[in-house]
Structure 1
Amino acid sequence: MASFCDLGLSSYEERVYTALLELRTGTAEEIADQSDVPMGRIYDVLNSLESREVVRRNPNSRPREYSPVDPELVVSRLLEQRKQELDVKQAQLESTAADLLSQIGQKAPIDGKFWIANEDERSLFDGLVNRANRVTDEWMMTWTASAGGLFGLEDPNDEIWPYFGDVLEKETQFKLLMTTQLINILPNDFVEEMADAIDDYPNFEVRITDGVYNSLDIIDQTDLAVYVADPFDPQSILGITQINNPEYIKLVKSSFITHWNGAEQFKKTTGQGDA
């Protein structure tokens, strides 16, 4: 049940004001008897209510008498006072929160999930296939010699390019940024298949750089996956961090474009691996 305490009065103040509404007017002693507020506290309570314009004192009466202010006016005044108090409290809390963040240097966490890789890294390639099926406009990817390389596939040539061919048929813009280290250890037949795909699909581009240190892919600037290398086996994948924060993905895409613009165009003679 609502009470004047909800608007900031103490329990004694509420009892005194309610008693005065019944008495209409009364002395301190009469009000104390009606409200059951101790006589030793009654003057403090009445003075507080008078300062908040909840009761009025008749200066000409002897003994001194008090009367209640109209309830609608009291509720309006108490509500306004309560709002002001809460505004001050909110400002204090916001200032405290800002000070705490400044002290600990904490930033808001990025929205995302971490997927643990199975022992069979083939499952990661299957996961990549599922991700690629969601691409509608653009797919950006980095490949490195670490973080699983080509997803742990024993024969990537027979699986990756047939699948990517299906993806590229959708006319998705596909930019692949590879490290020099990886391109130099790829089998020659894989490199040849990649070169053929570049010739067959104008929407497919490959560039080579030394400035990429992890594997990732970005789908339509809405979905980012970072492939985390196993610290005890850099060529294996520990898991995948999937991030859906648009602002963070925008920053990563900007870095990708910077490295892309500074990378070398892939040439068929680049591959140095075994046939």
Structure 2
Amino acid sequence: MTELGELGLSSYEEKVYRTLLVTGAVTAADLSESSGVPKGRIYDVLNGLEARKLIRMQSNNPKQYVAVQPEIVVDRLLAERTYELKQEWNRYRKRAETVRSNLLPTPPAESSFWLGSLGSEEMSTALQQHMRTAEDFVHAIVGTPYENTTWETLQIEVGAFFDGANADLTVDLLLSEKVVTVLPDRFPRLINGQSADVTIRTIPEVVLSFDVIDRVETTIDIPHPVAGDDRIGVLGIKDSHVVKEFERYFQHLWATADPFLE
């Protein structure tokens, strides 16, 4: 493909435009002969180029065409390609959102409960999607069952959590002291490298792990009834009264917590 072809000109359009640069003003019939574009196609090609403002008609008796200056043509072709690529990008982004939604675990219609163990791929995807709904803040309490697992497992959920967080988000994390013992020495560097504004505090014990997003939704980790180092799933609640109560509980614990690593 030629350079003009990459910018959006067909082979006939390129032949006509390049010929006009050499001949100057010329009729369609003469241009067909000079460029090698068949007479049955020449008017379609000329009309297309003229509509895109890459050539113009100079006189009407007889009708003659001239090429627009090359630097202007290149800028216009580049603008066309930029617009087309932007449209294509938007189409792929919408398709990706659809695929992402289809990959999420689907809750039963009568509830908002998702089965999913710690570190599982489907729940990591769900956690990223959950975090993408946050616009202003996330308040999260992390204890059981995270404090009983390994960093290798916990790291998967931490990564998914921050992968979904936007750069303008405020994140307040309240960790149990037992969770802190699971974290590696590099954990502070990992947190400092996040784009979101993250503050961490600790408390001796956490009875229940949950988060609150924008005072609109809370998700609660349901510990596994048999395996102490796992959960059976996550319960999502949007009832305003319930969310308000969990936010109130978070703020009560946050006020009495200690700064992390101070």
TM-score where L is the length of structure 1: 0.49
Amino acid of the structure 1 residue aligned with 2:246: V
Partner of 1:133: 132
Amino acid of the structure 1 residue aligned with 2:174: L
Match of 1:260 among 250, 254, 261: 254
Q: Contact (CA 8 Å) 2:170, 2:198: kept in 1 or not?
A: yes
Is residue 167 from structure 1 mapped to residue 165 from structure 2 by the alignment? yes
Structure number with the bigger relative contact order (C-alpha 8 A, sep ≥ 6) is 1
Residues 112, 150 of structure 1: alpha-carbon distance in 2 compared, 3 angstrom cutoff: farther
Amino acid of the structure 1 residue aligned with 2:222: V
3-state DSSP class of the match of 2:186? helix
Residues 248, 241 of structure 1: alpha-carbon distance in 2 compared, 3 angstrom cutoff: same
3-state DSSP class of the match of 2:127? helix
Q: Deviations over 1:213-255 (max 9, x none)?
A: 2211111111111001112112111011111110111011001
Unaligned runs of 5+ in 2: 1-109
Q: Deviations over 1:70-117 (max 9, x none)?
A: xxxxxxxxxxxxxxxxxxxxxxxxxxxxxxxxxxxxxxxxx9522122
Match of 2:245 among 247, 251, 254: 251
Partner of 1:236: 230
Alpha-carbon distance in structure 2 between the residues aligned to 1:163 and 1:115? 17
Alpha-carbon distance in structure 1 between the residues aligned to 2:128 and 2:234? 14
Structure number, greater radius of gyration: 1
Partner of 1:184: 181
Amino acid of the structure 1 residue aligned with 2:223: A
**Aligned-residue identity in percent:** 17
Q: Deviations over 1:20-43 (max 9, x none)?
A: xxxxxxxxxxxxxxxxxxxxxxxx
Amino acid of the structure 2 residue aligned with 1:221: R
| 1:1-275 alignment, distance < 5 Å | 113-117=112-116, 121-144=120-143, 146-148=144-146, 154=152, 157=155, 160-161=158-159, 164=162, 167-169=165-167, 171-194=168-191, 196-197=192-193, 203-267=197-261
Residues 259, 159 of structure 1: alpha-carbon distance in 2 compared, 3 angstrom cutoff: closer
Shift of 1:122: 3.1
3-state DSSP class of the match of 1:125? helix
3-state DSSP class of the match of 1:240? strand
Residues 217, 152 of structure 1: alpha-carbon distance in 2 compared, 3 angstrom cutoff: farther
Alpha-carbon distance in structure 2 between the residues aligned to 1:163 and 1:116? 18
Residues 222, 151 of structure 1: alpha-carbon distance in 2 compared, 3 angstrom cutoff: farther
Q: Deviations over 1:183-225 (max 9, x none)?
A: 012121234322x247x75x21110012422211111111111
Alpha-carbon distance in structure 2 between the residues aligned to 1:176 and 1:119? 18
Unaligned runs of 5+ in 1: 1-110, 269-275
Q: Contact (CA 8 Å) 2:146, 2:154: kept in 1 or not?
A: no
Root mean square deviation of aligned Cα: 3.0
Q: Contact (CA 8 Å) 1:177, 1:207: kept in 2 or not?
A: yes
Shift of 1:162: 8.2
* Count of residues in correspondence between the two structures: 153
Amino acid of the structure 2 residue aligned with 1:183: V
Shift of 1:143: 1.1
- Most deviating of 210-219 and 128-137: 210-219
3-state DSSP class of the match of 2:232? strand
Alpha-carbon distance in structure 2 between the residues aligned to 1:115 and 1:166? 18
Amino acid of the structure 1 residue aligned with 2:165: V
Alpha-carbon distance in structure 1 between the residues aligned to 2:121 and 2:241? 31
Q: Deviations over 1:152-198 (max 9, x none)?
A: 873655873586266251x111111100001012121234322x247
TM-score where L is the length of structure 2: 0.51
Partner of 1:92: none
